[in-house]
Every structure is written in structure tokens, then in C-alpha cells.
Amino acid sequence: MPVTLPVQQQRLTRRHFLVGSGAVAAGLAIYSGEIARHEIDIVRRTIYIDNLPTAFHGFTIAQLSDIHLVEYTEPIFLERVIEHTNALKPDLVLLTGDFVTHGAFSFFDSPSSAHRCAEMLTALTAPLRYSILGNHDNMFGAQYVIEALTTHDTPVLINQNLPIDIKGDRIWLAGTADATTSTPNLDLTLPTDPKAPVILMVHEPDYADTVIQHPRGPLVDLMLSGHSHGGQVRLPLLGALVTPPMGEKYIEGHFRLKRMQLYVNRGIGTVGVPFRLNCPPEITLFTLQPSRT
């Protein structure tokens, strides 16, 4: 016969369950908001590139993305990120957009946040650094971010390219306008006849499909993106709970699309909610090496 618990015991059991569930939820919120959100993951990747000039063998590039100062990235946390980046001693730092957040709590603070972020980035000690804009940068006013970065010695590439020369050898660096809030122009962005490897910065990783279909797409050796935050909150078996438009297909990590390699950085900050779970903030260090084949 089935056993029926007394009404009082049923209430106690239900109460214990609710209390226990609430405690687990609270603990998970504290962990994802205060601990996991600040656990910096340094990811090291060797990128093999065809016809890499000799002077660039072992050349190192640090990628930072999606800083989102001040909502919800605290300045003291960005200082830690910069310290970790400097300790890696990269030859070049590339910043792939979203320096601030266009959000309910940061709307009125955005211009000052942009300048504060740009000023803090001057502490980066790499010999070279370049940036592009992200969708949040454009949504509250690209002019603020561009002015802040350029006046603090961080050039911004918007549908532009430039050569990086070492001892007579060369690679090309290119960057598009943001792909969701602006209009990338690959005809302007990609060099016409580079005769050297091309590294392309695009904030949105899913734009990679457009790049590889462009007539000059085969010229791109490596595309660097952010935007997706790696999903920000990733549950076992389910994966990323929420991904943004144009960050839904290529969510994090390394991909090979025809001859082009794509890397999607999980970013530093958060948007929407100040939580990360199974998806720590990322600093990526790339080491360029000639192709092994």
C-alpha cells in the first residue's frame, strides 16, 4: 500500500525542498557573479600560417575583447587583466570591440567610461596595439569611443588595413566596421594584393561566412572576433543559454573555414546580467608559426 505522510510532514518536506533549492540558487548566483566572473583564463594558441615571413616566426599576439567597462566590469578587474596581459609580453595587442556597454545602468556614463577604459589601456606595454569597434560601442556613440581610444594611442581600424613590418618582412592587419550596427566594407578593409599573411579583426564571428565568400576572402589567414562572450552562461549538456545575433554559429574557440582560421574570444566582461558560468573571461595569446605542411 502507498504510504501517505502526515500533512505537517508533507509541509516540512516541501519547505525543506524549497529552502534547499533557494540556497542552491543563491549559492550559484554568488559563485557565477563574484567568483566565476573574475576567474581569468589565459588561453595559448599556436597559429600556423602559410608563407609566414621569417621575422614573424614566434611573433605573439594577445587578444582582448568585450571589456564592457563599467557595466559590469569593475576598473580593478580590468587592471588585473592588463597586468596578466603584460606578463605575457606580447609583440602586439588586438582589442576586438565593445569597450563599454550600452545598457540601462551605463547610458549616462558611457562617454566617461570610454575615456576611462582607453586611459587604462595605455598601461599595456606591448610595442603595438590596435582596435576595432563593437556593437555596444556604436549604439551609444562611436565618436566617443573612437576619440577616447585614438587620443590614448590606440588606433581604431574601421574598414581599413595597414602593414606591420619587421626587418623587411611584413604581415597585414585589417579591421572592419561593426557588422550588426554599421556596414563592413571588405573591398576597403582587405588589401588588394598583400603578398603576405592577412589578419582580420571583425567583432561578430558569424560574419566569417561573409568573409570567406568574398573574392578577397582567400587572402585572409586569421580572423579574430569576440561578441558572443562564449555564451557567458554555459550549462552541462545544454551549452550556451543565450547567444547574440551574429554570435550564434561560432560561439567560442578555434575554427577552420576553408583556408581561413577563425578564433572567437570569450571576452572579459558581461552584458545583461553580471554572471558567468563554465565560461571564464579570456585573454588569448597567439604565437604565429609557419605552416607545417
Residues 6+ apart with CB under 8 A from 264: 205, 225, 226, 227, 228, 230, 247, 250, 251, 252, 253, 255
The C-alpha cell of 249 is what?
554559429
Question: Which pLDDT score is estimated for 268?
Answer: 98
Rounded Cα–Cα distance for residues 293 and 290 (Å): 9
Question: Which pLDDT score is estimated for 22?
Answer: 41
Kindly state whether residue 13 falls inside one of the protein's structural domains: no
Kindly state whether residue 243 falls inside one of the protein's structural domains: yes
Kindly state whether residue 196 falls inside one of the protein's structural domains: yes
Cα dihedral sign, 14-16-21-23: positive
Kindly state whether residue 128 falls inside one of the protein's structural domains: yes
Which residues lie across from 222 on neighbouring strands? Answer: 199, 261
Q: In the chain, how many H helices and how many E strands?
A: 6, 13
Kindly state whether residue 26 falls inside one of the protein's structural domains: no
Question: Which pLDDT score is estimated for 108?
Answer: 52
Please say whether the beta carbons of 66 and 230 come within 8 A. Answer: no
Kindly state whether residue 211 falls inside one of the protein's structural domains: yes
Kindly state whether residue 12 falls inside one of the protein's structural domains: no
Question: Which pLDDT score is estimated for 216?
Answer: 97
User: Domain span at residue 96?
Assistant: 39-290
Rounded Cα–Cα distance for residues 228 and 250 (Å): 8
Give the pTM: 0.89
Average pLDDT over the chain, rounded to whole? 90
What does each C-alpha distance from 251 to 76, 245, 246 come to in angstroms? 27, 11, 9
How many domains does the chain divide into? Answer: 1
Rounded Cα–Cα distance for residues 172 and 120 (Å): 27
Please say whether the beta carbons of 220 and 200 come within 8 A. Answer: yes
Rounded Cα–Cα distance for residues 99 and 115 (Å): 10
Question: Which pLDDT score is estimated for 205?
Answer: 98
CATH number at residue 220: 3.60.21.10
pLDDT beneath 50: ranges in the chain: 10-11, 14-33
Question: Which pLDDT score is estimated for 36?
Answer: 82
Question: Which pLDDT score is estimated for 35?
Answer: 80
Question: Which pLDDT score is estimated for 293?
Answer: 66
Kindly state whether residue 78 falls inside one of the protein's structural domains: yes
Question: Which pLDDT score is estimated for 25?
Answer: 40
Which residues lie across from 46 on neighbouring strands? Answer: 287
Question: Which pLDDT score is estimated for 31?
Answer: 46
Please say whether the beta carbons of 189 and 215 come within 8 A. Answer: no
Question: Which pLDDT score is estimated for 26?
Answer: 42
Q: Where do runs of H (alpha helix) occur along the chain?
A: 7-30, 75-87, 110-121, 135-151, 186-189, 208-213
